[in-house]
Amino acid sequence: MKPPLQSNQPNPASGLFIRWIKFNAVGMLGVGVQLAMLTSLTNTVGVHYLPATALAVETAVLHNFLWHERYTWRDLTQSAQGAGGLHRLLRFHLTNGLLSLTGNVLLMRLLAGVLHLPLMAANILCIVTCSLANFAMSHSLVFRARPAL
């Protein structure tokens, strides 16, 4: 019996899994940025938790975009030699940014404002809730591979 032919093609599922791991590594750094910003704005500066949440999310969104460009989807962004970076940033803001901002502010209003959960616990729940949708949008809309011409 002959052994099965081996393909030199990479397994798309394993590539997607590796990218998801990278996405979450960047996301964990972004969580640190977001929580540090939220803590600084609410405890040190005295900003109300809802505008502080919006500013903290925006800071994390920009942080995450830069790392996704240079790490998570580097193979796609480097091959374009920097072309389209501004368009990717716009798409990232219109997808991940908008979902994160809206989701976090609305969920924070519910979790911290109505249910009186501690700010950090409420914010972590918001981040986890938005994470899977953000990966799907990043992979399919923001950093998608361009068809060969």
Check residue 83 and give its pLDDT. 61
Per-residue pLDDT of the chain (149 residues; tens, 9 = 90+): 655 555 555 577 788 899 999 999 999 999 999 999 999 999 999 999 999 999 999 999 999 999 999 999 998 887 665 568 889 999 999 999 999 999 989 999 999 999 999 999 998 999 889 898 899 999 998 988 766 55
Check residue 127 and give its pLDDT. 87
The domain locations on the chain are 50-78+85-144
| HEC assignment per residue over the chain | CCCCCCCCCCCHHHHHHHHHHHHHHHHHHHHHHHHHHHHHHHHHHCCCHHHHHHHHHHHHHHHHHHHHHHHHCHHHHHHCCCCCHHHHHHHHHHHHHHHHHHHHHHHHHHHHHHCCCCHHHHHHHHHHHHHHHHHHHHHHHHCCCCCCC
Check residue 7 and give its pLDDT. 52
